[in-house]
Amino acid sequence: MSYANLRETLTGRNNGGKLDPFKFLADLSVFTSLADEDGKLQEARDILVRVLEDVVKFRGYEPVIQTLLRNVGLFPYLDFKKADAVDQLAAEAHRPDAMPENIVFTAKQAEVYRELMAGRSVVLSAPTSFGKSLIIDAVIASNKHRNIVVVVPTLALVDETRRRLLKFRNRYKIITHLSQEPVERNIFVHTQERVVENPHIGDVDLFVIDEFYKLQIEDSAEGDERAVLLNHAFYKLAKRAKQFYMLGPSIDELPDGFGPNYRCLFIRTDFSTVASDTHIVPGGKSDISRLKALVPYLEGPTLVFSGSVSGARKLGRATAEARGEFKAKEELSQAIAWLSSNYSPKWGLVNALSHGVGIHHGRLPRSIAQLQVRLFNGGLLDYLVCTSTLIEGVNTAARNVVVVDNKINKKKYDYFTFNNIRGRSGRMWQHYVGHVYLFNSPPNRELEFVDVPVFTQNESAPDALLVQLEPQDLSDAAKVRVNQIWKQAVLSPETIQRNVGIDPKCQIELAKEIEDRLQKLTPLLSWTGQPTYNQTKEIFDLAWRHFKVKAGAGVLSASQLTLRVNRYRKNPDYAAQLSAAIAGKTGDEADEALE
């Protein structure tokens, strides 16, 4: 029997709605025993997870299900109270040392864990639900390493990871800020920017890079500054670390020679502990109308993805309107009252929360964004409308993911990002089967290759990265490019290298303009205390023109940025700023002003 036939039988589509549990499990047992390829094994796991979702249909057959779970490596799902000696022994073999007794790895998790414990570096490509972070915790718990660096893509993830690792605070000092002095044993939890800037990072026993596919520089013409800095952070850490663990989803291939050069093992797996169903939402209407029609049929916690902040506001309002009556529990009611009092009752977020709908995006104060994640994970919010700031790594427990947009900031997302969004559906022991609702066709799956520019040093590697590398680590072609930069006499190599991540040519052009206009610019670029309005404007204008500044938050020019900064400087009281921002505005206008 095929995977498709097993799915149809389980749902009752090809048997008149009647399921013979004995025959079904017998067919599944045969299918599992013949699944000798990783892809086929994952199909067997998928069916078994669906059995767990609907386990009441299989009463009396629990021992059979337990055996099948063991055979496909889903050891965490074993019921140890009912397990026989064979199951108990299998589970013990997959239990990481120095972790709580209830932690058991899957077969693939245990494989990765053993490689890391043997001192080998590992690059892991696995689905979102694989449990990659749990392996980090198990390696830390071994007490084997003295200095560990964990690199995460966002500040929100710095906070979340710090809280998760606080259980090790009796053994390690958890360092998240540059001002913190290290001690004998440390865990640095940093974004790539902080790794590059932190002078206290010395010898490293292990470093971890989450979402390592972000090493790839998508647009060298635009200059992907964060990707440049992540490459620089990798280079800095790889030069001084004994071992690394890099993890991410859906990567099939690394650059030729990367593994041997860094003496690392690449493990690629489709092993997943949850199942997922994809549904195409019928078109013909606006996205708002389609979302409102869908919401009443959704059961369980739901993430709604938007590709922009303005889109998240609109979708949040639409979801709230489609909810109808909702009674907030005490903790949520208190949060709504506090936000109404300290921000504004006109704020669209306040109205959405009163309907059990959160709105999460990068313009929110971090504390409010974190509060909403906690309320959502705690079951106090049924919906969380979000942008990519939530999708990129913050742990959430959602049964449904509604993907309204297929773009992020007007640019179509790639298959990596789509997989990340889709992978947020389903959660072990909570939502065995996740549901993904698509408003657009998914991107085509291509060979998922991740370039590592600091290693390949090809055309996508920008000068801002190459100038940070030691001469012996440069390829011949890269040396030619870097030597052209060092030949100029406007800026010293030391000055250029101190401005990490900034295009050397832009730095040189700025220096030339300052030199040409020195007499006029000297009083504008020299001050003590705070700069005047004109001094601030000149600085912003130079940066805007030479460094292609993208200020965001509705700021479109250096003059606008100067005006806004000067307004805040004159009125530093945050509450007063909020009051002034929303004075006389409607609810929608207040949204814009508050964010």
Has residue 378 got a pLDDT over 80?
yes
The interaxial angle of helices 533-547 and 518-525, nearest 10 deg, is 120
pLDDT in tens, 431-484: 899 999 999 888 877 657 889 999 999 988 999 999 999 999 999 999 999 999
Instruction: Spell out where 404-448 has E strands.
Output: 407-408, 411-412, 433-438
Burial call 216-228: b when 16+ CB within 10 Å, e when fewer: bbeebeebbbebb
Pairwise CA distance, residues 490 & 506, whole Å: 12
Phi, psi angle pair for 163, to nearest 5°: -65, -40
Has residue 386 got a pLDDT over 50?
yes
Q: For residue 222, what pLDDT band results from cuts at 50, 70 and 90?
A: very low
Task: Specify the range with the lowest mean pLDDT, choosing from 117-126, 311-320, 436-445, 519-528.
Answer: 436-445
Q: Are 309 and 468 in contact (CB under 8 A)?
A: no
Pairwise CA distance, residues 72 & 75, whole Å: 8
Determine what percent of the chain is predicted with pLDDT higher than 90. Answer: 59
pLDDT at 408: 79
Phi, psi angle pair for 304, to nearest 5°: -115, 120
Contacts of 216 (CB under 8 A, 6+ apart): 227, 450, 451, 452, 453, 460
pTM attached to this predicted model? 0.88
Q: In the CATH scheme, what is the code of domain 275-438?
A: 3.40.50.300
Q: For residue 592, what pLDDT band results from cuts at 50, 70 and 90?
A: low
Task: Specify the range with the lowest mean pLDDT, choosing from 108-122, 357-371, 498-512.
Answer: 357-371
pLDDT at 223: 47
pLDDT at 577: 67
Phi, psi angle pair for 437, to nearest 5°: -110, 120
Q: Are 107 and 95 in contact (CB under 8 A)?
A: no
Has residue 587 got a pLDDT over 70?
no
pLDDT at 332: 95
Has residue 43 got a pLDDT over 50?
yes
HSE-up of residue 95 (Cα within 13 Å, Cβ side): 15
pLDDT at 572: 72
Answer CATH for 107-268 from 3.40.640.10, 3.40.50.300, 3.40.630.10, 3.10.129.10: 3.40.50.300
pLDDT at 157: 85
Contacts of 438 (CB under 8 A, 6+ apart): 278, 279, 280, 281, 403
Q: In whole numbers, what is the pLDDT of the chain averaged over residues?
A: 88
Winning range, highest mean pLDDT, from 383-392, 445-454, 518-527, 563-572: 518-527
Number of residues that make up the chain? 595
pLDDT at 225: 84
Instruction: Spell out where 34-88 has E strands.
Output: none
pLDDT in tens, 156-196: 789 889 999 999 999 999 999 999 999 999 999 999 999 99
Phi, psi angle pair for 148, to nearest 5°: -125, 140
CA angle 227, 231, 237 (to 5 degrees): 140
pLDDT at 221: 44
Q: For residue 131, what pLDDT band results from cuts at 50, 70 and 90?
A: confident
Among 370, 115, 67, which residue's Cα sits nearest to residue 259? 115
Q: What is the dihedral of CA 189, 191, 195, 200, to 10 degrees?
A: -40
Has residue 586 got a pLDDT over 60?
no
pLDDT in tens, 417-428: 787 788 788 888
Instruction: Spell out where 86-144 has E strands.
Output: 121-125
The neighbour count for residue 88, using CB atoms within 10 Å, is 12
pLDDT in tens, 274-324: 999 999 999 888 999 999 999 999 999 999 999 888 899 999 999 999 987
Contacts of 233 (CB under 8 A, 6+ apart): 151, 192, 195, 196, 209
pLDDT at 539: 92
Q: Are 137 and 105 in contact (CB under 8 A)?
A: no
Please indicate whether residue 60 or residue 14 has the higher confidence score (pLDDT).
Answer: 60
Task: Specify the range with the lowest mean pLDDT, choosing from 8-17, 72-81, 197-206, 458-467.
Answer: 8-17
Q: Are 316 and 357 in contact (CB under 8 A)?
A: yes
According to DSSP, the residues that pair with 359 across neighbouring strands are: 385
Among 306, 430, 279, 320, which residue's Cα sits nearest to residue 361? 306
Tokens 């190459």 sit on residue: 466
Has residue 589 got a pLDDT over 60?
no
The neighbour count for residue 103, using CB atoms within 10 Å, is 16
Pairwise CA distance, residues 102 & 78, whole Å: 11
pLDDT at 187: 98
